[in-house]
Amino acid sequence: MSDFSETWSLVRGRLIRDLEGLSHEQLNWRLHPGVLTLAELAVHVAGVEVSFGSQLIGAELDELQLRLKAAATDGSVNDKPFPFAPEELTPEFVAKAFEIGNAMIQPLIENPTDEIRAKEIVSALGPVINGTGAFARLAYHPGYHQGQAYIIKTAPGFPS
């Protein structure tokens, strides 16, 4: 047991399974103004992966990856609008966002070098953290939002 890859995979898988098979309407149903929809929280989770991963390896991002990176903070930890409109947040797009996040993080978290573990990046909430701290946060972040997904899916009015 040398890193958080197994936990990340397990916890992330639970969130993805909870969202699988949901319709566009269900993914974009908002329980209350001011809280994220299921699609937004999923894309936010993928966005944090893109943000952390790109900072850890110094990757240049394409337009879509940049918008995903913005979803790490915009509309969730600050007052800016969420960078994707509900019309864009289809089941297929949510799955694609998770694939992009996975492609960014999986190679790093499964085989982290000492250099990556020590690399300093800015976390979604603002503090500077190192690579090990980033992996620890990534491993539990989907679980944080899985708890919220449960509340949304069991709320009165959630589309059937």
Q: Which residues here bind another protein, judged by CB under 8 A?
A: 1-2, 6-7, 10-11, 31-35, 132, 136, 140-141, 143-148, 150-151, 154-156
DSSP bridge pairs for 120: 130
Q: Shortest approach of another protein to residue 59 CB, angstroms?
A: 26
The DSSP output letter for 88 is G
The DSSP output letter for 45 is H
Q: Is the CB of 119 or the CB of 137 nearer to another protein? A: 137
Q: Shortest approach of another protein to residue 102 CB, angstroms?
A: 19
Q: Which DSSP string do the residues of 80-130 spell out, in sequence order?
A: SPPSS-GGG--HHHHHHHHHHHHHHHHHHHHS--HHHHH-EEE-TTS-EEE
Q: Is the CB of 121 or the CB of 136 nearer to another protein? A: 136
Q: Shortest approach of another protein to residue 142 CB, angstroms?
A: 9
